Chains A and B, each alone.
Chain A
Amino acid sequence: MKCTEFENIVNEYIDNEIEDTHIEEHLKTCERCKLLYDETLEIKNLLGDLEVVDLPDDFEETLHVQLLEAKNDMKITPMTSRFKIIGSIAAVAVLSIIAFRAGTLMPLNKESDNAMMATANVAYDMANEETESMDMDEMAIESAVESIEEEAFGMNKTALRMDIPFNYARESITYFLTGEQSVVVEEAWLENFDYKELMYFNKQAEFYVHEIDFEAFNDMIFTNLSIENSVILDNSMFIDDTLNQYYESEDQIAQLDKTLLEASDDDKTEIEENIILEKENLDFLEYDVMNIEHYKGYKKIIIIWED
């Protein structure tokens, strides 16, 4: 083994990342490399000997408060009175569920066209379960919402194991219709509203309505259709997250470009590599950002009917 070789691997060696009897042999005979070895080990030990500091006294206390706040942020918001309660049907429960990152979940059912429907169905089931025997007054609704919250927050495994295509609208409202009607959504009904992309799937219709028109649209839905239940899904956290990542990535590239100008040749390659990685990241986000822009101001509407 040559001394220059040893110089290159001395750090790995003291970190036990490589083993080589040749190295041990070399160190036995080479004073210079032995010195380098000792010095490097010394530095490593200097750091290792730095004391482990205790957590500040109030660390756990203040963290606990922050955790409570965080949990509160993730809570469900109770429904507003604009959803009418029909007949003897159980209370309408509104769930605000944090959207799940696409790609981190496994596909539930390959046949289901829109996995969001499955989420809504699960939410619907849970809502029904909890609220069947409840009174209509606000207190009861709130406690119903609370118990749903425990379930929804944990979002049982079935719902979690779904490939939810990323919803680009900040909010989506799903209406569940009772079984009696044979007609669902007629295009004619939507004529007066700012809507787009009306699509029909198996037992469900989807489109986007501009938030300006939403209240009127909602009234129209309740007038013309028999609604069993409805669910609101709040996707804004995910959207804001994506947008922030995009801006940060842009910032980072600008910073890196700047650093590149001032960098030594040694560092240039690494910085250029990082710029490439960051630009890849940006490309990846660009698709989402474009879609977010496209649906800006619109609410996604899903109407589901039973047989």
Chain B
Amino acid sequence: MKSKLEDEKKLIKQSISGDIQSFETLINRYQKMAFNVAYRILGNEEDAKDMTQEALIKVFRNLKSFRMDSSFSTWLYRIVMNTCKDHLRKNKVKVISMDQSYDVGDGEVQMEFEDEGLKPDELLVSKETQSEVQEALMEVSEKNRIVVVLRDIKGFSYSEISDIVNIPIGTIKSRISRGRNELKSILMNKRQSVV
């Protein structure tokens, strides 16, 4: 019985020879999650759709240069991430992120929120709506957001993430840590202002 991996290799080879149907079968198992990852990073479905499709076309065009002995998933996501990063770079939206200071006119102000260490039940999942979390996520600085999404939404390991975004594992660790802390602070701050 053929393994999944062998099936995938066959689909890849057929796609390289121009068989679009094979390519569509090949990416079928990846496209939904790739779209979701893009959505959580970019913040809106339309951009996510555009960037995911753009990335998949790049995958199709460049399949010849894919090394068969490496992970197709990692390679595909690398292309998706680069496409998203390019898009973010070109469309710099001025979002005030927790990690940066911003200028209010008379000197710089550092955004700081005290971590009051609320009890666990004050931060309960059920109180947050999906859109609140997504909004808060968009306020997390880009580079941290990317790794947190890859980790907590897609479930890649640190080493897989390191492969995908081409950054050392040590940096991945610190970005995940900062990303989660940023998210925590943003959500707690929103909570406080509501109260």
Interface residues of B in 45-82 (CB under 8 A from A): 45, 49, 52-53, 56-57, 60-61, 64-65, 67
Answer whether residue B32 sits at the interface, using C-beta atoms and an 8 A cutoff: yes
Answer whether residue A80 sits at the interface, using C-beta atoms and an 8 A cutoff: no
**Stretch from A66-74, A110-118, A128-136, A227-235 contacting the other chain:** A66-74
Name the interface size band of chain A: 35 or more
Given A53-B45, A67-B57, residue A160 in contact with residue B64 (CB < 8 A) = yes
Of A47, A56, A59, the contact of B153 (CB 8 Å cutoff): A47
Q: In whole angstroms, what is the CA distance A63 to B191 when docked?
A: 41
Given A55-B35, A59-B49, A150-B18, residue A42 in contact with residue B176 (CB < 8 A) = no
Min Cβ gap B191→A in Å is 13
Q: A70 to B60, Cβ gap below 8 A?
A: yes
Name the interface size band of chain B: 35 or more
Q: B17 to A153, Cβ gap below 8 A?
A: yes
22 contacts between A and B (CB under 8 A): A17-B157, A17-B158, A42-B123, A43-B183, A43-B184, A43-B187, A46-B128, A46-B187, A49-B125, A50-B133, A50-B134, A50-B153, A56-B49, A59-B35, A64-B24, A67-B23, A70-B61, A74-B18, A153-B18, A154-B16, A154-B17, A270-B171
Q: In whole angstroms, what is the CA distance A49 to B125 when docked?
A: 9
Q: B40 to A50, Cβ gap below 8 A?
A: yes
Q: A48 to B120, Cβ gap below 8 A?
A: no
- The contact string, 1 if C-beta is below 8 Å from chain A, for chain B 150-190, is 01110001100000000000010100110010011001000
Q: Give chain B residues whose Cβ lies under 8 Å from the Cβ of A48.
A: 152-153
Q: B125 to A42, Cβ gap below 8 A?
A: yes
**Stretch from A33-41, A81-89, A167-175, A282-290 contacting the other chain:** A33-41
Answer whether residue B20 sits at the interface, using C-beta atoms and an 8 A cutoff: yes
Answer whether residue A268 sits at the interface, using C-beta atoms and an 8 A cutoff: no
Q: Find the residue from A15, A40, A63, A71 having the highest chain B CB count within 10 A.
A: A63
Q: In whole angstroms, what is the CA distance A10 to B157 when docked?
A: 15
Min Cβ gap A32→B in Å is 8
Of B120, B152, B171, the contact of A35 (CB 8 Å cutoff): B120
Min Cβ gap B99→A in Å is 8
Query: Please, which residue of chain B has its CB at the minimum distance from the CB of A40?
Result: B180
Answer whether residue B192 sits at the interface, using C-beta atoms and an 8 A cutoff: no
Given A35-B120, A54-B32, residue A11 in contact with residue B180 (CB < 8 A) = yes
Answer whether residue A294 sits at the interface, using C-beta atoms and an 8 A cutoff: no
Q: A15 to B57, Cβ gap below 8 A?
A: no
Q: In whole angstroms, what is the CA distance A264 to B112 when docked?
A: 14
| 7 extra A-B contacts, CB within 8 A, seeds A39-B117, A101-B65 | A15-B158, A35-B120, A46-B128, A46-B133, A47-B153, A59-B52, A67-B60
Given A15-B151, A59-B49, residue A264 in contact with residue B101 (CB < 8 A) = yes
Q: In whole angstroms, what is the CA distance A64 to B28 when docked?
A: 12
Q: In whole angstroms, what is the CA distance A136 to B32 when docked?
A: 49
Q: Give chain B residues whose Cβ lies under 8 Å from the Cβ of A56.
A: 45, 49
Q: B31 to A59, Cβ gap below 8 A?
A: yes
Answer whether residue A158 sits at the interface, using C-beta atoms and an 8 A cutoff: no
- The contact string, 1 if C-beta is below 8 Å from chain A, for chain B 94-108, is 000001110000000
Query: Please, which residue of chain B has its CB at the minimum distance from the CB of A241?
Result: B62
Q: Give chain A residues whose Cβ lies under 8 Å from the Cβ of B184.
A: 39-40, 43
Q: In whole angstroms, what is the CA distance A221 to B179 when docked?
A: 65
Q: In whole angstroms, what is the CA distance A52 to B158 when docked?
A: 21
Answer whether residue B33 sits at the interface, using C-beta atoms and an 8 A cutoff: yes
Q: Give chain A residues whose Cβ lies under 8 Å from the Cβ of B177.
A: 10-11
Q: B20 to A43, Cβ gap below 8 A?
A: no
Q: A71 to B133, Cβ gap below 8 A?
A: no
Interface residues of A in 70-104 (CB under 8 A from B): 70-71, 74, 98, 100-101, 104
Query: Please, which residue of chain A has its CB at the minimum distance from the CB of B158?
Result: A17
Q: Give chain A residues whose Cβ lies under 8 Å from the Cβ of B134.
A: 50
Answer whether residue A196 sits at the interface, using C-beta atoms and an 8 A cutoff: no
Q: In whole angstroms, what is the CA distance A101 to B64 when docked?
A: 9
Q: In whole angstroms, what is the CA distance A178 to B25 when docked?
A: 46
Q: A42 to B120, Cβ gap below 8 A?
A: yes
Q: A71 to B18, Cβ gap below 8 A?
A: yes
Min Cβ gap B68→A in Å is 11
